[in-house]
Structure 1
Amino acid sequence: MSPDAPSAPADPAQPHTPVSTNTPQSHTAETHGDEDDPFVSISGWGRTAPTTARVLRPRTAAEAAAVVQGWGARGGIARGLGRAYGDAAQNAGGCVLDMTGLARIHTIDGQAGTVVCDAGVSLHRLMEVLLPLGWFVPVSPGTRQVTVGGALGADIHGKNHHASGSFSRHVESLELLTANGEVQTLRPGSDLFDATTGGMGLTGVILSATVRLHRVETSLMSVDTERAADLDELLARLTTDDHRYRYSVAWIDLLARGKALGRSVLTRGEHAPLTALPSRARHQPLDFRPGRLPAPPAQLPRGLLNRTTVGLFNEFWYRRAPRSRTTELQPLTRFFHPLDAVPHWNRIYGGDGFVQYQFVVGHGQEEALRSIIQRIARRGCPSFLAVLKRFGTSDPGWLSFPMPGWTLALDIPAGLAGLGSFLDELDEEVATAGGRIYLAKDSRLRPELLDVMYPRLPDFRALRAHLDPQGVFTSDLSRRLAL
């Protein structure tokens, strides 16, 4: 079966469906240069700290090994589709390994519910191939434009962490190219597997993975939406009802103050069963057609996103949401990845870019969460992309971000006056509460706080020193935080 032209859905019980594709993927990385200059400018999705590096794009594991063995004193780092918000996939003055050339889906085992694929395959591509067969990726973040290697390197989480954990929980094995040029097969429970999942590419280059999938009957979601009038109501509903849903997330108005502090729109859902579809939609229940809107201009006026404009948007967004609506059918793309419909949506923040700030604090630290939200509201941070979720059990990865508790993520224009010192103060409060910052989105954390936030960091550093004593794998993030 060719994944580029799927015909009738294959029997999901048929084992080992072979799939082979080198189909080009949409590369959304922020890279700029010319053909005569081997160094190009690279930035994260937030566009805040561009640096230059030599970008190399292998198409086989052998080519990747040859590149790693010869990329010089400044070392290198693997990069996928460029959706890390900060500097995790940058390497100033060194090399960057563009992994999107390794993008083959090798086999789909319909009996075991697994897929074997290269690390450069995007979640978007997996959905294109797997949904017609009745399978969905086990964990999806807010964008499909993430490679499998990136998903493992950041140990991504989604709206279902409280029920399903992070991406690495669903990986049976992975192939890792290490600093000495060898390829090792890693399985869950080994030190190197746990250091690699969430290790931000610093243990080696992930070449391929075997991933367990989630069975679905349709490509639609059954969604319940309701308003929460304040933070207390929101946390109470998440605490008491989240176990009833596979997916759960709340948009939160971070400009609301007083009695309305933390007012939110809570959205929770499940994959819709075939019986929930109207009869006219049952002949193509697994149809996957993500739409796209026009891209915003290359640059928008500086200061367009301010407290007034975002405040108006937040008021509109909260008021338009239903007080309570159940079992609404929504396309997967609308529920999971609404911003993917807008190419280069990161341009809306203007030339200064934006900082995405995401932290987690544990259960029992609700007052710390409230204090941080109050500080953000008082500061008037103009964030209209702010979400709060409830995490479940911690993941095994030594540098994996999730821990049982509450995570808040918000986008803030990087040009906001005094932003750096303000976020430093929030970092201190997060650390004092026993929480941590998400490395895949960080671009400015002070290194002295990292040991407090990640207790397995000494083990990670020791393993790296043993496995890669010459520092073959390095990045702007690793140098900044002394990883």
Structure 2
Amino acid sequence: MGMLAPGSVGKVGPAIESVGSSVLPRGLGRSYGDSCLNENGYLLSTKWLDKFYGFDPGTGLLKCESGVSLDEILKLFVPRGWFLSVTPGTKFVTVGGAIANDVHGKSHHSTGSFGNSLKQFELLRSDGERFICSRDLNPGLFRATVGGLGLTGVILWAEFALRRIDGPYIEMEAVKFNDIEEFFQLSEESVHGYEHTVSWVDCLSGPGARGIFMRGNNSARQEPDESRRAHGPSRKTMPFDAPPFLLSGPSIRLFNFLHFNLQRKKVHRSCIHYDPFFYPLDGILHWNRLYGKRGFLQWQCAIPKTGKKRALTLILQEVVRGEAGPFLTTLKEFGDKPAEGLLSFPIPGITLALDFPNTGEKLFSFLDRLDRIVADFGGRIYPAKDARMAPGMFSASFSEIENFSGYVDPRLSSSFYRRVGGK
């Protein structure tokens, strides 16, 4: 793959024209699969599109270029009492990447996904045409670009809403649950009283699938001005690749047992900085080394409300029976707010994410079985996390794929899009 690095908005078009093969806009490359790769083509880095254009404190609307990272926004605006309306599990994502993947986070049940906070953006097509896109202006292109994996054009700038906060802290509760039924009870009772929810699940503990349900709200805790700053660079690092025995079934079961039982009380309350609450892995440099030299695959699905309990039970039964034990499992209930994009991942229902050590074809075959369960219940797989989904599963996941393909820029492509049947 070649790399194009235009230094400003005005140089993006000429950069695309300068090469003869396909191009893919790329932010900070945090997608786990190949949606941010373009084998035998070019990547167009947006890291130099990093200017802030303006902010309206009356409405909370921020306008900036697409290469600005969420980390940069937090550093600038948290001390001023503002936060992102929607944030994924890492702050090392660009605004353009957040739009292209329509990212979601712990607040989905209350705020929706990133596209729901978006007012408008400017899109550059490879033929040089530029479009202002919003729900009212070029709405088709707007819906295709939100969640469109960077395939409809290059986002030059975007305008989206921040939200006010009292400070950088989160009042958090961690509640232990003993089975999936208890998870759903906690989720239902937390919808209206908590801004943020997510659960860690010990899916190797047996049919019950115990776990810890985490929920929180922005805190009014007052501290000296120094504490309002966004956290700085990480001081922790993973200096070596984890040996294979740490990723074995017995080791994962031991880790899960300790993690669950180290919390002695049913409910643990704490007040913590937003950084470890929203971005725990950002605090560990080279955290991917925890999965050894072969790395890992994350499999993330969304299941509609109807059948969510049955589908989840079947998936967890497969995991318990299977030889591939996930090192990390997270579970969350999505809200009802409709997503903006044709290929947006969130739907009303649940989302389950499983992190597996990469064992190659053996793991791929196992994940194919999980895909079939998801398809049977009308669910979908998350493209931003995918590295092996078959074309049939992709088309089954997204009913708007034919409509979307009409908006794809003919000069843009990705390894992911070609793998799942695109051009």
Q: Above 0.5 in TM-score?
A: yes
Choose which of 52, 64, 71 in structure 2 pairs with 1:105. Answer: 52
Change (3 A) 1:248 1:478: same
Match of 2:302 in 1: 360
**SS, match of residue 200 in structure 1:** coil
5+ residue gaps, structure 1: 1-52
Choose which of 248, 252, 256 in structure 1 pairs with 2:197. Answer: 248
Match of 2:108 in 1: 161
Distance in 2 of aligned mates of 1:302 and 1:100: 35
* Cα deviation, residue 188, structure 1: 2.3
Matched, 1:371 2:371: no
Match of 1:312 in 2: 254
The equivalences for 1:102-181 within 5 A come to 102-181=49-128
Match of 1:95 in 2: 42
Choose which of 329, 342, 347 in structure 2 pairs with 1:386. Answer: 329
Change (3 A) 1:322 1:244: farther
Q: Residue type of the partner of 1:130? A: F
* Cα deviation, residue 304, structure 1: 3.0
* Cα deviation, residue 207, structure 1: 1.2
* Cα deviation, residue 220, structure 1: 0.4
Choose which of 64, 78, 83 in structure 1 pairs with 2:25. Answer: 78
Matched, 1:415 2:364: no
Identical aligned pairs, as a percentage?
35
Distance in 1 of aligned mates of 2:232 and 2:186: 31
Matched, 1:479 2:423: no
Q: Deviations over 1:376-420 (max 9, x none)?
A: 122143323211000112302100000000100111011267111
After superposing the two structures, state which structure 1 stretch, 321-330 or 235-244, moved more.
Answer: 321-330
**SS, match of residue 207 in structure 1:** strand
CA contact (8 A) 2:327 2:357 kept: no
Distance in 2 of aligned mates of 1:422 and 1:382: 11
* Cα deviation, residue 193, structure 1: 0.5
Q: Residue type of the partner of 1:462? A: G
CA contact (8 A) 2:190 2:197 kept: no
CA contact (8 A) 1:265 1:321 kept: no
* Cα deviation, residue 291, structure 1: 5.7
**SS, match of residue 371 in structure 1:** helix
CA contact (8 A) 1:161 1:392 kept: yes
CA contact (8 A) 2:345 2:381 kept: yes
Q: Residue type of the partner of 2:411? A: V
**SS, match of residue 450 in structure 1:** helix
Matched, 1:458 2:406: no
CA contact (8 A) 1:198 1:399 kept: yes
Match of 1:215 in 2: 164
Q: Residue type of the partner of 2:278? A: F
**SS, match of residue 43 in structure 2:** strand
Choose which of 376, 383, 402 in structure 2 pairs with 1:432. Answer: 376
Change (3 A) 1:402 1:90: same
Distance in 2 of aligned mates of 1:89 and 1:208: 19
Distance in 2 of aligned mates of 1:283 and 1:481: 50
* Cα deviation, residue 340, structure 1: 0.3
Distance in 2 of aligned mates of 1:291 and 1:150: 21
* Cα deviation, residue 168, structure 1: 0.7
CA contact (8 A) 2:90 2:279 kept: yes
CA contact (8 A) 1:224 1:324 kept: no
Distance in 1 of aligned mates of 2:109 and 2:32: 24
* Cα deviation, residue 284, structure 1: 4.4
The equivalences for 1:2-41 within 5 A come to none
Q: Deviations over 1:421-466 (max 9, x none)?
A: 11011111101100000000011000012222111111001232xx
CA contact (8 A) 1:217 1:272 kept: yes
Q: Residue type of the partner of 2:4? A: L
TM-score normalised by structure 1 residue count: 0.84
Distance in 1 of aligned mates of 2:218 and 2:121: 28
Q: Deviations over 1:199-241 (max 9, x none)?
A: 0000011111111001001000011111001111111211232
5+ residue gaps, structure 2: none
Distance in 2 of aligned mates of 1:206 and 1:143: 20
Paired positions, count: 418
Change (3 A) 1:322 1:286: farther
Match of 1:224 in 2: 173
TM-score normalised by structure 2 residue count: 0.95
**SS, match of residue 228 in structure 2:** coil
Distance in 1 of aligned mates of 2:266 and 2:191: 16
* Cα deviation, residue 326, structure 1: 5.9
Matched, 1:192 2:141: yes
